[in-house]
Structure 1
Amino acid sequence: MKISGAAAIVTGGGSGLGRATAEALAERGARVAVADLNQAAAEAVAKAIGGVAVACDVGGEASAAEAFAKAEAAHGPARILVNCAGVGSPVRIVGKDGAPTPLGDFEKVIRVNLIGTFNMIRLAAAGMATLEPIEGERGVIVSTASVAAFEGQVGQSAYSASKGGVAAMTLPIARELARNAIRVNTIAPGIFMTPMLAGLREDFQASLGASVPFPSRLGAPSEYAALAVHIVENGYINGETIRIDGALRMAPR
């Protein structure tokens, strides 16, 4: 799909992978709505790229619908959706005190990462399905899973379940939306330099980077964004979950 002139929504666009993707799409001429729970962060990115900021709780039905309405009012119906919003809270099955983990901890991660992704997809797809095709396509949806979907570490049961769900639903959603000329793909990143990792000590960052076979470093958000852009532009990529991880395979701990 041609990016220039297309309306796009990027969730989690206020920082990290989402910000880099919003910037990359805007550089190619997209009209980008930066959706984020952090309104101030969304506004800062939107101002920098000439887009619009929309406050959005991706897991909330009303909040997401309002975000789509605001984005459409500013830029017209979205033809591109990139789901980058997510949380990575560790969840142990049994705590150090021997008590079972609070169920709410698990539910929060699933609500944001999995339900939130589905929520945004269903709203985007409904709008895209009404549009006239451009070069045979009505829209493109890109979601974010993780290598933890395949090699989850200790403490990642909730995160792995949520990201595994994102990967698992990619193909059936792509098959369903094929009749509407909407492509659906997912990116599964490895260890990237996101704001969460940027707060760690440099020696710990270096240790994480050294665990990656090649190149032995943390991924750059711009590299994720480049893949997202390529998926949007390459009309034959559909129903795929694509790893971008430097050949990393996560150890148990």
Structure 2
Amino acid sequence: MKIAERTYVISGGASGLGLATARDLHAHGAYVSLLDLNSDSGSKIVSELGSRAKFFEVDVSDTDSIAEAIKGTGAWVKETGKDIGGVVAGAGVGLPGLIIDKKNEPIPISSIDFVLNINLRGTLDLIRQVLPYMTTANHEGPDGERGVIIMIASSAAFDGQMGQVAYAASKGAVASLTLPLARDLSKYGIRAVTIAPALFDSNMTKMLSSKVKLSLMNAMEFPKRAGQPEEFARVVRDSVENSMLNGTVIRLDGAMRMPARL
């Protein structure tokens, strides 16, 4: 599928992996609709990228907030005539916590809800609200393709560490829903792909201590370093362009298998 002259909706698009993705797709001729809570960063990025970029301040755990952004994106698409060709659900959080602590206190349900509401519910809510625009878009190419849904899981979906029950649950769910989503959307010519990165330079990993980062990098086989956002964006681009990528989860982790504890 062609990237140029199509609109891509990217949540978490004002920083980290989402921003790298937005820059890469934009550099290849895409229109990008950036959804993020950071309005200052979002406004600066739009000023930098120009007329093929729009920013919407969005809390992906709030259905109405997503709805306003998608309504605004839909209106923009009507102006430009550039159909929505894809969604990159990049908004995510990590809030580590043992299921029961040393004081024999269970993790607060509010902590679990916070992670699940953004990483899982927010992903599904964004996708379901964008889809009516995608299913009615013009198809292209010999396969009659309309677009692609790209989600972000994590290596924690497969080998989560202590304290990652909520995070691993949210990312494991995203990985698990990839195939049924692809099956639901196959009749519309829309694909579903999930990327599961390990340690990448991002706002989330910036919060980790140097000791934790070193321990994680030591668990990587090759290369022994954090992934770069541009390397993630390259896989997103290939997921858009390669129509045989569908219903699958791509591990992007330098052969890393996380140990039980750091």
* TM-score between the two structures when normalised by the length of structure 2: 0.92
SS of structure 1 residue aligned to 2:55: strand
Q: Which amino acid aligns with 1:195?
A: N
Report the alpha carbon displacement of residue 38 of structure 1 after superposing the two structures with TM.
Answer: 1.6
Map 1:56-95 → 2, pairs under 5 A: 56-76=58-78, 77-95=83-101
Q: Quick one: which of 211, 214, 233 aligns to 2:241?
A: 233
TM-superposed CA distance for 1:47, in Å, is 2.2
Q: How many Å separate the matches in 1 of 2:188 and 2:149?
A: 12
CA distance in 2, matches of 1:251, 1:207: 9
* Aligned residues of 2:93 and 2:204 also touching (Cα < 8 A): no
Q: Which deviates more, 205-214 or 46-55?
A: 205-214
Give the whole-Å Cα distance in 2 for the aligned partners of 1:195 and 1:112. 15
Contact residue 60 and residue 126 of structure 2 kept, 8 A: yes
1:124-143 correspondence to structure 2 within 5 Å: 124-135=130-141, 136-143=144-151
Distance across 2 between alignment mates of 1:122 and 1:45: 26
Displacement of 1:79 in angstroms is: 1.4
- Paired residues of 2:12 and 2:34 also in contact (CA < 8 A): yes
Instruction: Give the Cα–Cα distance (whole angstroms) in 2 for the partners of residues 157 and 179 of structure 1.
Output: 35
Structure 1 residue 243: deviation in Å? Answer: 0.3
1:48 maps to which residue?
48
Q: Secondary structure at the match of 1:4?
A: coil
Contact 2:85-2:146 at 8 Å conserved across structures: yes
Amino acid corresponding to residue 192 of structure 2 in structure 1: V
Cα separation, 2, equivalents of 1:199 and 1:60: 25
**Structure 1 stretch displaced more, 41-50 or 185-194:** 41-50
Equivalent position amino acid for 1:7 in 2: T
**Partner SS for 1:218:** coil
Once the two structures are superposed, residues 190-242 of structure 1 have per-residue CA deviations (whole angstroms, 9 ceiling, x without a partner) of: 10011232355556544432321001110001111000000000011110110
Which moved further from structure 2: 82-91 or 96-105?
A: 96-105
Per the normalisation by structure 1, the TM-score is: 0.95
What is the CA distance between 1:45 and its match in structure 2? 2.1
Amino acid at match of 1:92: L
The 2-side partners of 1:243 and 1:62 are apart by 32
Identity of aligned residues (%): 42
Which residue pairs with 2:11 in the alignment? 11
Question: Which of residues 194, 199, 202 is equivalent to 1:186?
Answer: 194
Of 164, 171, 176, which aligns to 1:163? 171
Q: Could you tell me whether the CA contact under 8 Å between 2:74 and 2:133 is conserved in 1?
A: no
- For the Cα contact (< 8 Å) 1:3–1:30, is it kept in 2? yes
Asked whether the equivalents of residues 116 and 166 of structure 2 are also in contact (C-alpha less than 8 Å), the reply is yes
Runs (5+) with no aligned partner, structure 1? none
Structure 2 counterpart of 1:72, one-letter code: G
